[in-house]
Amino acid sequence: MPEDNVAAVVEVLLFVSDKPLTLEQIKNALDNLETSEIRRVIEGLNSGYEQSNRGIRIAEIAGGFQMITVPWVAPFLKKLYKQRHVERLSRPALETLAIIAYKQPVTKTEISSLRNVNIDGVMSTLLDKDLIRIVGRKKAPGRPRVYGTTRQFMEHFGLKSLEDLPKIENFPDINSMKEVVADNEATASQNTTAASVSAVEQKGEA
């Protein structure tokens, strides 16, 4: 396949996918083209977007690649989607998730002591959404379960890895840590919505 065609196919695969695609997934769709070549094609696409000041980029998120929008177009996206409902996590869910993200592995009792409320319902919601998971048991009386975040968590917040989270030592208190998680969710939602929605709308028009 000519190189231009390879770039076009990779671009389309990323455009229509609502989840980050791994190099292996792209490789399988391209008759097993080497992953190093696919990565080079993605880098070339990104360079082209930057040089022509396009409104999209390809970001490495949670072990895969996904099209996102550049930050400066956020105000225009807000105007376009102000009538659309974008599902966001509740404040209690964000607060609990912030604690788990930065303190993991952490027990339910430890989370409750920081929030000073019952978190059974919130924990159930986060587990159902696959944002957290049980990662083991603590070596303590009763062997309580300990929780950590998932790959879905990184996708939801647009993170390449947990190393992309702002350093916890930069926060003066737990509340500022919660604010960062809330801000990250809002930013990730704005950045990843446009391409997937456009693809769905185009399918509807076809």
Distance CA(157)–CA(11), nearest Å, equals: 22
Calculate the dihedral angle through the C-alpha atoms of 157, 74, 198, 184, rounding to the nearest 10 degrees: 10
The answer to whether the Cα torsion of 70, 72, 78, 79 is positive or negative is negative
pLDDT value of position 165: 81
Give the predicted TM-score (pTM) of the model. 0.61
Label residue 194 by pLDDT band (50, 70, 90): very low
Which letter, b or e, does each residue of 168-199 get, where b requires 16 or more Cβ atoms within 10 Å of its Cβ? eeebeebeebbebbbebbeebbbbbbbbbbeb
Give residue limits of the domains in the chain: 3-69, 91-188
- Determine the topology of domain 3-69 in CATH: Arc Repressor Mutant, subunit A (1.10.10)
First and final CA of the chain: distance in angstroms? 27
Label residue 201 by pLDDT band (50, 70, 90): very low
Please, where are the H alpha helices in the chain? Answer: 3-16, 23-29, 35-51, 74-80, 91-103, 108-115, 120-128, 151-157, 174-205
Among the listed ranges 50-59, 63-72, 83-92, 120-129, which one has the minimum average pLDDT value? 83-92
Distance CA(183)–CA(179), nearest Å, equals: 6
pLDDT value of position 133: 96
Q: What is the pLDDT of residues 166-186, one digit of tens each?
A: 776 555 455 555 555 556 555
Query: What is the CATH code for 91-188?
Result: 1.10.10.10
Identical fold at 3-69 and 91-188? Answer: yes
pLDDT greater at residue 204 or residue 158: 158
Q: What is the mean pLDDT of the chain?
A: 81
Q: What is the pLDDT of residues 20-39, one digit of tens each?
A: 999 999 999 987 789 999 99
Distance CA(46)–CA(67), nearest Å, equals: 10
pLDDT value of position 181: 57
Contacts of 164 (CB under 8 A, 6+ apart): none
Distance CA(176)–CA(102), nearest Å, equals: 12
- Joined together, the tokens standing for residue 3 give 């190189």
